Structure 1
């Protein structure tokens, strides 16, 4: 049941914090830059008991820092399950310090982190994570869902990233029972987010349009494709020619492609899972890359967007790139003629 505070928050802030309508300026950070670069990491949220981090989180954080130094990174997208197993209790929860601030200490990771919540975060106090944005210089979590707009330096091209709360949209799930989310806690709030999303997608003129959430649309691993997102989100991604959908939830790295849209699963920030039980629930040919090998010690995705293309590189914590995918600008690709439900 929603707490009174949550109900007040939803009532008091219907749209004010839902998105940035202005452009976020990256020019000052590198005068010779002509691209936007960022890291995508999910399911990175440590443990609720000492030492509050896992070996995979530590190794992945170290490699994220090295990659940010060598390949460049303007910001990090943290796509949910930020604190295992039940989120945080309030804004003073020590988990902010021991699992986040103390785990990502390198200078190259002292950049903005744009955050959304996962199912484990919703087991705790997501409002406290939103409030923590006022305590940390790099933690940016303005609302459950929001939009960011960027101009690609030294070009006339633009990038939009829409951050979703897929738990509010679809409902929570019990990882230990391998459950699909059955229904949103509030149908009104789920519908409100969906309407907002459709409006943002419909009006977007961005050259690159990314959507990020916690639950996957497509996945071959433990949780598989999310039925709710296949019904509610996938048709919108196709209709409005999104460039890619970025997510976590399954604890591995995956790249799938459908009708010109890239599906990036980057959920290897804290655990690694080799499970491929839902392989047959993904249409043949969609899966391009999968890695759930614990020997890699975790991983993440590095994304670079320039005037001509968007490049996604999957990197393992041991220090090598595993797979690279290239996506075109929205006006440059033609949807394939595929049947879909």
Structure 2
């Protein structure tokens, strides 16, 4: 029996070594699915005038606070060029590691500094700023997380009064924000579904999925972006994808330098997270429930764009006629698996930008620090003329900001 166990360990180790060698060849490289591989030639810049831009950036909670931050600098350059006809959506996990702790907590000065660094970078921005909350903002989902996110909301309003913190007061949403004529942002607090302990009651938050369905039905004449912290498709760790190193050294998922080799036993953690899941993983029952119910609504409406953070990389999926983005590389990067259902993935800091044109085209662009000016990492036409909604008519049901009834 001992020989069999030794043989299994040996075979697994060889397999992990081969896989690790393969991963090193393509990790941190841009990957584009074969169907999209011709994008530079197939997607020339649009001829129509651009009317609005939207930056989608998540997981900015570890930005540099003692010197220039490459992502914030790039975002500021984009904001200056975009001007008033634009908005920036921060997709949650705005403060690592646990949001804004009490005033007396040892980690409060560092946490506040991380948030204020971001808020100060937006002070001269002419466009709109919208903050969402993520699991780290809720004290990593612990029972007292609501207190943490309310403190963050208060600081945002104190230091950047024009910014939106949505949904407010920890409610699940959905809430809407009319960005421009014919462009509607719908925001969900996806952490509400997976949060432990105290949270606003479902009665106080209305009927989230029914409300979302009503909002989408009432606004089919508009181009709609739905934003939440948690992705609905992902080729990264929260979607159950792990590196060979994480199988061999499973403690590195907790600390990058924890190189304690645990072959075979070490695979139990990735397998567990893939099949059962921690609270922040797609496999977890609460997250699975959220994802199933949300996709059931979204799949009824083609040409939607759903944007999330959570996984620390850049991913784009086209599913059921709509578009799903993972833009969680605002301050950290982590492994993302090539292939699968993805159209584009890259393990690199950066963010996505949506560009809306007068002829109803909507384009996706990837912006990353270190890219030569005028060079796109990836771009794709998400919505073509004739398939998108027209600008909202006067008297539309989409108010400036409201919760579905």
Same fold (TM over 0.5): yes
TM-score normalised according to structure 2 size: 0.59
- Name the CA distance, whole Å, in 2 between partners of 1:217 and 1:133: 27
Q: Does 1:311 align with 2:335?
A: no
- How far does the alpha carbon of each residue in 1:23-65 deviate from its partner, in whole angstroms, 9 at most, with x for none? xxxxxxxxxx851112111000127xxxx6498x911001111
3-state DSSP of counterpart to 2:193: helix
Q: CA RMSD in A?
A: 3.2
Please tell me whether the aligned partners of residues 250 and 265 of structure 1 are also in contact (alpha carbons under 8 angstroms). Answer: yes
Please tell me whether the aligned partners of residues 100 and 112 of structure 2 are also in contact (alpha carbons under 8 angstroms). Answer: no
Counterpart in the other structure of 1:176:
none
TM-score normalised according to structure 1 size: 0.69
State which structure, 1 or 2, has the greater radius of gyration over its C-alpha atoms: 2
Counterpart in the other structure of 1:272:
333
- Name the CA distance, whole Å, in 1 between partners of 2:180 and 2:215: 17
Change in Cα spacing, 1:133 to 1:91, as seen in structure 2 (3 Å) is farther
Counterpart in the other structure of 2:43:
none
Please tell me whether the aligned partners of residues 310 and 326 of structure 1 are also in contact (alpha carbons under 8 angstroms). Answer: yes
Please tell me whether the aligned partners of residues 251 and 266 of structure 1 are also in contact (alpha carbons under 8 angstroms). Answer: yes
Deviation at 1:113, TM superposition (A): 1.4
Change in Cα spacing, 1:133 to 1:54, as seen in structure 2 (3 Å) is closer
Deviation at 1:96, TM superposition (A): 7.0
- Name the CA distance, whole Å, in 2 between partners of 1:249 and 1:67: 23
3-state DSSP of counterpart to 2:79: helix
3-state DSSP of counterpart to 1:102: helix
Change in Cα spacing, 1:165 to 1:331, as seen in structure 2 (3 Å) is farther
Deviation at 1:129, TM superposition (A): 2.7
Counterpart in the other structure of 2:157:
134
Q: Determine which of 74, 77, 98 is the counterpart of 2:86.
A: 74
How many pairs does the alignment contain? Answer: 271
- Name the CA distance, whole Å, in 1 between partners of 2:367 and 2:327: 10
Q: Which has the higher helix share?
A: 2
Please tell me whether the aligned partners of residues 208 and 243 of structure 1 are also in contact (alpha carbons under 8 angstroms). Answer: yes
- Name the CA distance, whole Å, in 2 between partners of 1:234 and 1:330: 25
Please tell me whether the aligned partners of residues 79 and 127 of structure 2 are also in contact (alpha carbons under 8 angstroms). Answer: no
Counterpart in the other structure of 2:314:
253
Counterpart in the other structure of 2:278:
none
- Name the CA distance, whole Å, in 1 between partners of 2:96 and 2:357: 35
Q: Determine which of 98, 104, 117 is the counterpart of 1:102.
A: 117
Deviation at 1:305, TM superposition (A): 1.3
Please tell me whether the aligned partners of residues 302 and 312 of structure 1 are also in contact (alpha carbons under 8 angstroms). Answer: yes
Deviation at 1:259, TM superposition (A): 2.2
Counterpart in the other structure of 1:203:
218
Deviation at 1:202, TM superposition (A): 2.2
Please tell me whether the aligned partners of residues 168 and 189 of structure 1 are also in contact (alpha carbons under 8 angstroms). Answer: no
Deviation at 1:317, TM superposition (A): 1.6
3-state DSSP of counterpart to 2:53: strand
Counterpart in the other structure of 1:291:
346
Please tell me whether the aligned partners of residues 243 and 328 of structure 1 are also in contact (alpha carbons under 8 angstroms). Answer: no
Please tell me whether the aligned partners of residues 42 and 79 of structure 1 are also in contact (alpha carbons under 8 angstroms). Answer: yes
Please tell me whether the aligned partners of residues 336 and 345 of structure 2 are also in contact (alpha carbons under 8 angstroms). Answer: no
- How far does the alpha carbon of each residue in 1:168-220 deviate from its partner, in whole angstroms, 9 at most, with x for none? 13446xxxxxxxxxxx9966668732232222122213420110000000000
Q: Determine which of 72, 80, 83 is the counterpart of 2:95.
A: 83
Counterpart in the other structure of 2:185:
161
Change in Cα spacing, 1:115 to 1:107, as seen in structure 2 (3 Å) is closer
Please tell me whether the aligned partners of residues 306 and 325 of structure 2 are also in contact (alpha carbons under 8 angstroms). Answer: yes
How does 1:42-57 map onto structure 2 within 5 Å?
42-46=58-62, 53=65
3-state DSSP of counterpart to 2:152: helix
Change in Cα spacing, 1:217 to 1:190, as seen in structure 2 (3 Å) is farther
3-state DSSP of counterpart to 1:120: coil
- Name the CA distance, whole Å, in 2 between partners of 1:41 and 1:202: 27
Deviation at 1:249, TM superposition (A): 0.3
Q: Determine which of 371, 377, 381 is the counterpart of 1:326.
A: 381
